[in-house]
Amino acid sequence: MIVLEAILAGAGDVRVEVADGWICVCADVDWLQGIEAEAFSGFAPFTAGGPNGVTSEFFPVVFSASVATAKRSEVRLVKGASAGPLGGLGGSWERVVAFELP
């Protein structure tokens, strides 16, 4: 569902990477621009998803041990004690959402 959000927001390059128990969704657009705080604290309206569209980033917050997000070189820990693979983030992604599998 998170990948679909990025695509609906206009991303042309979306990738899912799995490493060391973490799943990272990376995109060439910031699909959470302006709604980041709301997206991780509950279901935020997501207009690109249609009239009833809402964000899905709250699911990893509820069901994962750790969640982190990044825009360019800024990393923010949302939940847990580790930013996992985002601790050494590089690359040109506009937005990354990463969560640790239980």
Q: Is 48 helix (H, G, I), strand (E, B) or coil?
A: helix
Q: Hey, what are 76's tokens?
A: 């923010």
Q: What angle do CA 60, 82, 65 make, to 5 degrees?
A: 35
Q: Where are the domains of the chain?
A: 2-100
**With contact defined as beta carbons under 8 Å apart, do 20 and 84 qualify?**
yes
**With contact defined as beta carbons under 8 Å apart, do 21 and 62 qualify?**
no
Identity of residue 29:
V
Query: pTM, whole model, 2 decimals?
Result: 0.92
89 pLDDT tier (thresholds 50, 70, 90): low
73 pLDDT tier (thresholds 50, 70, 90): confident
Dump pLDDT digits (tens) for 11-24: 999 999 998 899 99
- Which DSSP state fits 47? G
